[in-house]
Structure 1
Amino acid sequence: MAALKKALLAAAVAALAAFFGYGFHKINRISLASREMPIKPLRCHYLPYIEYGAEDITILRHGLAFLSTGLHDYLDLPFFSNESGKLYVLDLLHPNPTPVELQIKGEFDLSSFNPHGISVYTDAADDSVYLFVVNHPQRKSQVEIFRFIEEDELVHLKTVTHPLLHSVNDIVAVGPEHFYATNDRYTDYGAIQLLIFVLGLPLCNVVYFSPGEVREAAGSMQSANGINISQDKRYIYVSNMLDHAVDVFERLDGEQLVFVKSVPVGTLCDNIEVDHMTGDVWLGCHPDATKLSNFDLKDPPGSEIIKVKNILSDKPVVTLEYGDNGHELMGSTVAAPYEGKLLIGTAFHKALYCDLK
């Protein structure tokens, strides 16, 4: 009997060791650990006032850019300031574009503001501009809806919370109070989430929200991260980060999303922006995610910007547009193009203004 117990214990220990070995190997493989850093410079300069990240950036057709800054205490990302986050606006048609902090009016707790993904919706009926912001006060997830009033002012209209919006990463607005949002994890319990990750369970999703209906619009993703919409509003793009791909969905009547295809991009991509002139998809990406979790200034996390041309065609073209080993820019999360210019944001570092011509 004692020999049997020893044998069972040895088998259990061996199985556990094998599982942990498998998990370690899988984490390194998905995180692209020790991947050779792609290098491709651009003519860029740092945007003033942005010192602690511009996690998301989006640009209106007439050249007005909105920046979400100061994300902190989110998952295991590094952060260097506990100050509340801020929103900025930047006029790309100005000869010397400079970020201007947006003043937030209305009943809103600025002290706990922790902005993440953003999206802008322009109402065709009266040209009203609405700014949607993912917010993580006290590590929670909620969506704030603002109305852009004038050059530097936002009025807070509404806070959206719902059990289905439990770990919101990014958002794309499709109406004054209507949006799609991505959940980037299944649970906040670290051990359970790690197990889900190692087992490769596709438990992340996209949620559709309207005042009259909240439901899952698409599921079965390992990590739903950035989200955006095509020029003609017919397709939704989602960065399936851990699959190193962009998933394409067709948007049908009733706000149904139907999976069309997955486009491999070969790296861990975060937010998605769409060129308003060409329809090209631009992605801010992480070339080696282990350098984010094991942050070391001597070997910093790099930045990688990917463009996907003709994403809806049978042969999309994926190209590297910017690559840096972290000594210019650490932890790129978004790349927003505008008529020959490019804004690159990060999770916790600076932001770049680049010339593509």
Structure 2
Amino acid sequence: MWLQQFLDVQLLHQLVHTDIKHRLRLLKHLTSLRNPGKMYLLNLLHPKPTPVQLQIKGELDLSSFNPHGISVYTDETDDNIYVFVVNHPDDASQVEIFRFVAEDTLEHLKTITHPLLHRYVLYNTPYFTVRDVSEQSVDVGSSCDNIEVDQKTGDLWMGCHPNLMKMVTYDPKDPPGSEVLKIKNIHSENPVVSLEYGDDGKVLMVSTVATPYKGKLLIGSVFHKALYCDLK
């Protein structure tokens, strides 16, 4: 299985690099057609969770705001909540830092830019193994995208692609599936890998991230919808 995944990654690497200029032009064109991005708040414990749009205040150019991924950090010294957002205005790559102001506002604090940030996002995406810094590896039998760490248990929750090539060669008649895997006891000699969610793409295509919260699970995707689940 690992050999097939290795070959899939190598083919993906070749596809991305041989067609990179075309993909960049397409990405820029699609970005120009989209409405500016927005940020939402979702209460997973509400009987009927409904996304609430957050107001964004500060000097950020909202007309080109194109959020890609987020990470949340809580400062335990003063309980301030900071939101780090990967932003792709036009064809650039940068990180926006916000402070969450209850109940529905994000205050923009800073934009982080660097020439290597764009290079990393553009060129290193196809690589999944960095052997020089690898201390331990766990075979999960899937192509992992993003990892979420459960702050209470230390478990790893991963949005995964059961068939990576289906994502690249997207066919609506045979959609790419989704998987959410969890790894328990990651620092032990025998980590435990479990499948927490999986489907063939008929419910959710191309799962990229999953985050648990008090018996609930929210799964995100690249170009499809988000999925809200009850953990059992």
Does the alignment pair 1:338 with 2:209?
no
Write 1 or 2 for the structure with the bigger share of helix.
Answer: 2
Does the alignment pair 1:318 with 2:175?
no
1:283 Cα shift? Answer: 0.4
1:27 Cα shift? Answer: 7.7
Once superposed, what is the RMSD of the aligned Cα atoms?
2.9
Corresponding residue of 2:117: 165
1:87 Cα shift? Answer: 1.2
The partner residue of 2:107 within 147, 155, 160 is 155
**Unpaired segments of 5 or more residues in structure 2?**
13-25
The partner residue of 1:303 within 148, 154, 178 is 178
Call closer, same or farther: CA 1:334–1:325 in 2, change over 3 Å.
same
> Which of 1 and 2 has higher RCO (CA within 8 Å, sep 6+)?
1
* Whole-angstrom distance in 1 between the partners of 2:96 and 2:226: 23
* Whole-angstrom distance in 2 between the partners of 1:345 and 1:126: 30
The aligned runs of 1:130-141 (5 Å cut-off) are: 130-141=82-93
Q: Deviations over 1:216-248 (max 9, x none)?
A: xxxxx962xxxxxxxxxxxxxxxx3xx4xxx89
The partner residue of 2:9 within 5, 8, 30 is 30
Does the alignment pair 1:288 with 2:147?
no
Asked if structure 1 preserves the Cα contact closer than 8 Å seen for 2:93 and 2:121, the reply is no
The partner residue of 1:272 within 147, 172, 178 is 147
Q: Quote the sequence identity (%).
A: 62
Instruction: Give the TM-score normalised by the residue count of structure 1.
Output: 0.55
* Whole-angstrom distance in 1 between the partners of 2:86 and 2:43: 22
| Count of aligned pairs between the two proteins | 214
* Whole-angstrom distance in 2 between the partners of 1:276 and 1:347: 25
Instruction: Give the TM-score normalised by the residue count of structure 2.
Output: 0.82
AA aligned opposite 2:102: E
**Unpaired segments of 5 or more residues in structure 1?**
1-24, 34-72, 168-182, 187-203, 205-220, 224-239, 250-257
Call closer, same or farther: CA 1:146–1:107 in 2, change over 3 Å.
same
Q: Deviations over 1:124-151 (max 9, x none)?
A: 2211111000001112110000110111
